[in-house]
Amino acid sequence: MKRKLIAAIGIAGMMFSVAACGNDDKSGGSDKGADAKELTVWLTVDAQNNWPDLVKQADAAIEAKHSGIKIKHEYYGWPDKNTKLDAVLATDKAPDVVEMGNSEMLGYMVKGAFAPLDASKFENSATWLDGLKESVTYDGKTYGVPYYAGGRVGNWRKDVAASAGVKSTPKTYKELLSDLDKIQKKEGAKFSAWYQPTRDWYAAMSFVYDAGGSIAKEEGGTWKANLSSPESIKGLTEFKNIVDKYMHGDKTKDESDRYIVYGQGKSGMIFGAAWEGATAEDPKSDKTGKLKGNLENFVMPGPSGKNIPVFLGGSDLAVPVKSKAQAVAAEWINAFTGAKGQKGLMAKGNLPNNKADLVSLQSDPKTAVPATAAESSWFVPMAPGWGQVEKAQTLQTMLQAIGTGKKSVADAAKEADAAIDKVINTK
């Protein structure tokens, strides 16, 4: 899934009066809206196009329990969904269930747009994936239910690796660097053994979290930037080492067109979303004519000796606080995301919302790599001002300064911390 972190962006000026709309009522645990006769569910076109049968399955479960209830579905594309949601939340006609990208949740939770839920009422909640669980949690309360997930993996060209004498994907970080050294030597200085865009903070922060660092830490209800900590500096330094040694492209770029660059044939490996390899080998992107069937995913090993923590993307389902059918909405979400629903989603090629179901995917060659990679994940700080941090592109600016050598790791991290601290606690 190609999803950008857009938490809180575009909704800072969304002025709907949610604070006075019964925010203490708890769906998933109360009877508010238990006798509702209508239910409106907003999902993205992913569900409409790829698993409409699972939607009907959830509908049937609710209709069997609530005789005569009418369930209405509306489907939206990712680019325009939040604009429509922001507009309707300012009225008294809010939907009862809405799908959110996991990185979109924070801004809405901060603004009080969603009703708190009782996590214990939902199947699999005890083993929700860490990255998804964090995305629905704010100030100690749960405001959504994880739907499905998408992770990040390593991907390289088997032909390039083989030509350098490398016969299998790396299992340790030491092996990875050794293999990349061989590839870099074989292909020459103009080739990127590892095409790693400098501004790709998803990858950079994986190194930070692998080293025991973090973007920010919460103490006593207050968030403080943590990029200057010894652990974070260690992770950033290793990221710089990778960029310096193996990345020989434009060091001012981000990851948005990485699959296109990969398809041009001047790099041997990438670390990105699981879909990027398949997209690169599509004839529309593959300018070499050699990538189809020649790319291989692998779980990224980290310098710590463990699999590197990856940013875990995905979708959540939430109940707007203005919903008049909160209890039934929670029931529908449970029917859709519970054990039966997860089985159907996995059959469609998705990663499940919980660790228990990941086990079954790890034995299937088609899903083993992303399923294993998703076990270790990180997520953005669930701080009220995180959206402002991202909108300012603070992390990207820091990484570009580090990657281009304009600033030392320590100086760039210190500057980024100062910028983060100015806004991270601001609602």
Spell out the residues 6+ positions from residue 116 whose beta carbon is closer than 8 angstroms to its own: 23, 26, 27, 141, 142, 143
Res. 227: pLDDT tops 90: yes
274 pLDDT band, cuts 50/70/90, is confident
Decide if domain 152-311+382-422 falls under CATH 3.40.50.1400: no
More confident call, 1 vs 281? 281
Write out pLDDT tens, residues 295-343: 999 999 999 999 999 998 889 999 999 999 999 999 999 999 999 999 9
Is residue 185 predicted with pLDDT exceeding 50? Answer: yes
For 136-146, the pLDDT digits (tens) are: 999 899 999 99
Q: pLDDT-based confidence at 350, cuts 50/70/90?
A: confident
pLDDT on residue 270: 98
Q: What is the pLDDT of residue 151?
A: 81
**pLDDT class of 2 with cuts at 50, 70, 90:** very low
pLDDT range class, residue 78, cuts 50, 70, 90:
confident
Which amino acid is present at 87? A
| pLDDT mean over 72-81 | 91
The full DSSP string for 50-117 is H-HHHHHHHHHHHHHHSTT-EEEEEEE-HHHHHHHHHHHHTTT---SEEEEEGGGHHHHHHTT-B--B
pTM for this predicted structure:
0.80
Percentage of the chain modeled with pLDDT above 70: 93
CA–CA distances in Å: residue 410 to residues 15, 129, 413: 39, 33, 5
Name the residue with tokens 């820091």: 398
Judged by average pLDDT, the poorest of 155-169, 258-272, 320-334, 362-376 is 362-376
What pLDDT band is residue 108 in, cutting at 50, 70 and 90?
very high
* pLDDT exceeds 70 at position 3: no
pLDDT band with cut points at 50, 70 and 90 for residue 15:
very low
Which of 165, 180, 166, 169 is closest to 241 using CA atoms?
A: 180
Lowest mean pLDDT among 120-134, 167-181, 192-206, 392-406: 120-134
Sheet holding 295-298, edge to edge: 269-273, 152-157, 295-298
CATH 3.40.190.10 residue window(s) in the chain: 38-151+312-378, 152-311+382-422
Q: Please name which of 340, 329, 371 lies closest in space to residue 123, comparing C-alpha atoms.
A: 340
Cα–Cα distance measured from residue 280 to residue 333, given in angstroms and rounded to the nearest whole number: 35
Question: Phi and psi dihedrals of 290, rounded to 5?
Answer: -120, 0
Does pLDDT of 21 surpass 60? no
Given a cut of 50, whether residue 424 has pLDDT beyond it is yes
**The pLDDT of residue 275:** 83
CATH class label, 38-151+312-378: alpha beta
Mean pLDDT of all residues in 270-285: 91
pLDDT for 31 equals: 67
Query: What's the pLDDT score for residue 202?
Result: 94
Q: What is the mean pLDDT of the chain?
A: 90
Looking at residue 6, its pLDDT comes to 33
% residues pLDDT > 90 (the chain): 75
Q: Does residue 81 carry a pLDDT above 80?
A: yes
C-alpha–C-alpha distance, residues 117 and 136, integer Å = 10
